[in-house]
Amino acid sequence: MAGELRYLSNARLIDGSGGGVPDEPYALLIYGQRIKALAPQAQLPCPAGAEPMDLRGMTLMPGLIDCHDHLANLKGGMVARAAVPPSLAVIKTAKTFHNTLLGGFTAIRDAGGVDLGLKLAVEQGLIPGPRLKISVNILSQFGGHNDHTEPAGIESDFPRLPGMPDSICDGVDGCRRKVREMIRAGADWIKICTTGGVGTPTGGPLIRQFSLEEVQAMVDTAHAAGKPVMSHAYGGEGVKICLDAGVDSIEHGAALDDDLVEKMVRQGTWLVPTFTVLRKIVALGELSPCPVPAYMPRKARALLDQQAISFRKALDAGVKMAMGTDLGSFGHGQNAGELAYLVEAGMTPMQALVAATRMGAECMGFGDEVGVLRAGMLADLLVVDGDPLEDVRILQDRGRLRLIMKGGKAIKDTL
């Protein structure tokens, strides 16, 4: 319960900052929602009245953060999803919130689909879930990446949560108005699409969408309201216009050339690589029958080699990176798998963990509250049976997540 004093001792500490791992065991004191003290075990004895928790042989670290997920996306094809009323979609999404939290993710930036009501339900303690920053719906040009009008003339992005605004806009005035509509609907981030994607029937992931003038209008409008902008953009001119317009975060960025990377470093633009989604789509292409349109695995495979090269360029150049999955209905709750892909692509295990803790918090705008374990921060943390620096894949094993806390409240406790 909030208000209790908890004392965690004998922990191997990964504090999220990216610094070295201390040789000596550490102790952490929690009062209510926040960390009251963190120090070597010998310097921080258990105070009277505190509940002791012995973490001997285990690792203490911040809760994980995914900067690109779609928690409201439901599994299944069009026929299955057409049978889901919006009210049932709300309940299914709430279940996904809890499942994601039990996977060790205490904060999520939702890149389209979650509405303000569900975010408020988490904040008011009505349902369990991670801390949320939401973009409501993804702004797309007519016929663009988030235009789900099928050849038969029907909209296939159902069910939408109640009150979800439409996302299609064109022209400077139309784009400006649509940004204001998303802000009115509760968006913390404005999400736009400046390239196609593997799920776009017409064109490909490197085909530019929106004009520079439209993107500038959206970015200016969002920034005037104090809202950052994230863009679905794989590479080429679609990324260039984002950087020219001052977009804050590039999502995917799987085909970045040297000039784009250099400009991202200079401007401090975030990159959220999202390896998971391409891997998931390629894997679906191996199934028979394939549950997604055949063009999706084909486009995803074509991007994989480019993504490996692009990521390494960005990493070596010092582009700011945060972990994101774009997982959505491809496997709700399996977000920790992205860490192994980051390591495979060239990050050290510590860099991957920092991308999923401190850097994720900074990217989302939570950097003064979570992402690092230190006095005064909210007590969002994990206790892991084992050492994720030896093998980050252990974070995919929920049995090894012995304690999950969000704001000092134990979501799971098997110590």
Quote the pLDDT of residue 41: 95
The amino acid that residue 356 corresponds to is A
Q: What residues pair up with 39 in beta bridges, in sequence order?
A: 27
Mean pLDDT of 346-354: 98
Q: In sequence order, what are the residues at sequence separation of 6 or more whose Cβ sits closer than 8 angstroms to the Cβ of residue 70? A: 110, 111, 112, 113, 114, 326, 327, 328, 329
Q: In sequence order, what are the residues at sequence separation of 6 or more whose Cβ sits closer than 8 angstroms to the Cβ of residue 272? A: 67, 68, 230, 249, 250, 251, 252, 253, 321, 322, 323, 324, 363
Confirm if 84 and 92 have CB atoms less than 8 A apart: yes
Mean pLDDT of 336-358: 98
Structure tokens at 306: 């480019």
Quote the pLDDT of residue 344: 97
> Rounded to an integer, what distance in angstroms lies between the CA atom of residue 107 and that of residue 356?
10
Quote the pLDDT of residue 294: 87
pLDDT in tens, 212-261: 999 999 999 999 999 999 999 999 999 999 999 999 999 999 999 999 99
pLDDT in tens, 18-59: 998 999 999 999 999 999 999 999 999 999 999 999 999 999
Buried b / exposed e over 269-292, threshold 16 CB at 10 Å, is bbbbbbbbbbbbbbeebeeeeeeb
User: Alpha helices of 55-170 — where are they, by DSSP H?
Assistant: 78-82, 86-102, 116-123
- Comparing 80 with 349, the larger pLDDT belongs to 349
Quote the pLDDT of residue 3: 52
DSSP label at 52?
E
Which pTM does this prediction carry? 0.96
Looking up tokens 């028979």 gives: 288
Please determine, for residue 71, whether its predicted confidence score (pLDDT) is greater than 80.
yes
Quote the pLDDT of residue 1: 41
**In the chain, count of helices (H) and strands (E)?**
12, 17
**Residue 313 banded pLDDT, cuts 50, 70, 90:** very high
Q: In sequence order, what are the residues at sequence separation of 6 or more whose Cβ sits closer than 8 angstroms to the Cβ of residue 246? A: 216, 219, 223, 229, 267
Intra-chain end-to-end CA distance of the chain, in Å: 17
> Rounded to an integer, what distance in angstroms lies between the CA atom of residue 55 and that of residue 104?
17
Task: Find the Cα–Cα–Cα–Cα dihedral 378, 382, 387, 388, rounded to 10°.
Answer: -80
The amino acid that residue 362 corresponds to is E
SS3 state of residue 333:
coil
DSSP per residue, 180-230: HHHHHTT-SSEEEE-B--TT-SSS-TTSB-S-HHHHHHHHHHHHHTT--EE
Quote the pLDDT of residue 2: 42
Q: In sequence order, what are the residues at sequence separation of 6 or more whose Cβ sits closer than 8 angstroms to the Cβ of residue 226? A: none
* Mean residue pLDDT across the chain: 95
Quote the pLDDT of residue 272: 98
Looking up tokens 């050290």 gives: 348
pLDDT in tens, 262-305: 999 999 999 999 999 999 999 999 998 888 888 899 999 989 98
Quote the pLDDT of residue 305: 87
Please determine, for residue 384, whether its predicted confidence score (pLDDT) is greater than 70.
yes
pLDDT in tens, 82-122: 999 999 999 999 999 999 999 999 999 999 999 999 999 99
> Rounded to an integer, what distance in angstroms lies between the CA atom of residue 53 and that of residue 74?
38
Cα separations in angstroms, 66 against 176, 251, 360: 28, 12, 7
Q: Which residue from 28, 52, 17 is spatially nearest to 357, judged by alpha carbons?
A: 17
pLDDT in tens, 314-346: 999 999 999 999 999 999 999 999 999 999 999
Instruction: Please count the residues of the chain.
Output: 415
